[in-house]
Amino acid sequence: MSGRFALAALAALIAGSCAAGSAASAPDAQEARDAQSLPPELAALVAQPQTGSFNPEASKDAEFFKDTPERFRPFVAVCNPWDEWDKPAPPFRIHGNTYYVGTCGIAAILIAGDEEHILLDSGTAAGAQVILANIQTLGFSTDDVSYLLHSHEHFDHIGGFSILASHTQARIVSSYSSEAVLTTGEAHRDDPQFGMHAPMEPVLVQRRVATGDSIETLSNGQIEHSVTAIETPGHSPGALSWQWQSCESDDCKMIVYADSLSPVSADDYRFSDHPEYLAAYREGLERLAYLDCDILLTPHPSHSRMLRRMRRGELIEPTACAYYAIGKNQDIERRLAAENETSDGD
């Protein structure tokens, strides 16, 4: 079944479901130990009872935080949807050994191990400094970052690779299509956004991966963590999504860091003029839609409504990957329709 029709079938299958996701439980003892304290003035505000109507866009008052697990509150307090790329954000534990260490506007994910860590994305060059500080704030050593992985090969997500490479022991991993971008700092000519971004500082790629390949870290000579690559081209030619399991005691969840996948391009680029690229785009969306996926994360947090889900205590949402893929496929269809209208007008 082609990606286009498989996603349509999946949309029909899950439409109307009342169980789109399981709400996260109230903070337990482990969450209390891991939670970061709110600033005193904000903590006092959250503790105050509120009455009357509430506009969540107007302020962040006690009602705004009433369903937010404690460990998420510092991030939700500081950051806003579609926030600035380099705005510093407090790090927090997502689930188990998985932590958010990025900025308010650009994600970076740390998978922490006893001996080795995996880091996904660097943000911009300025954002990389925030990431380094956040890793240390959590009590981890940057020297233990063994692998540096990417989502897609644009400067807002890999522009800080050279900085992180110089401050860690990380081996840089890329998709086969992204390798030339990382090693030269120049965008791929097949990228829909070619010509839109300034060059980046080149880095050395030490491993390449394709769909199904895994990056593994060890503890006492045994595999501790395994992160699996999924090729999801479209937003860029070499884009990757990643899947892994993260556990809190016996509570294990599958986490997916899914690429941006929005059909953004330079003004003169037409997706309809590139049928092979378009087919690969849809195939990647199909792969993503059918993944085992309890928690969805994305390079731009607002693509996956992360702040809203954190605030409502619903970061765990088993159908999120499917809905995300379906939504991005609909974006492509709208883009193709607009391109067709432009052609008809000419």
> What CATH code would you report for 28-345?
3.60.15.10
Instruction: State the pLDDT at residue 7.
Output: 67
pLDDT digits 0-9 by tens, 101-118:
999 999 999 999 999 999
pLDDT digits 0-9 by tens, 45-84:
333 333 333 344 446 888 899 999 999 999 999 999 999 9
Predicted TM-score (pTM) of the model is 0.85
- pLDDT, mean of residues 166-176: 97
What percent of the chain stands above pLDDT 70? 82
pLDDT digits 0-9 by tens, 235-248:
999 999 999 999 99
| Greater pLDDT, 344 or 68 | 68
Size of the chain, expressed as the number of residues it contains = 346
- pLDDT, mean of residues 194-216: 97
pLDDT at 14 over 60: no
What are phi and psi for residue 123, nearest 5 degrees?
A: 65, -165
- pLDDT, mean of residues 260-277: 96
pLDDT at 10 over 80: no
pLDDT at 6 over 70: no
Lowest mean pLDDT among 3-7, 30-34, 39-43, 119-123: 30-34
Instruction: State the pLDDT at residue 343.
Output: 72
- pLDDT, mean of residues 28-56: 37
Q: How far apart, in whole angstroms, are the C-alpha atoms of residue 259 and residue 195?
A: 21
Q: Could you tell me the strand order of the sheet in which 92-95 lies? A: 92-95, 98-100, 109-111, 117-120, 145-149, 171-175, 207-209
Instruction: Say which residues have a Cβ less than 8 Å from residue 168's Cβ, sequence separation at least 6.
Output: 119, 142, 143, 145, 148
pLDDT digits 0-9 by tens, 115-143:
999 999 999 999 999 999 999 999 999 99
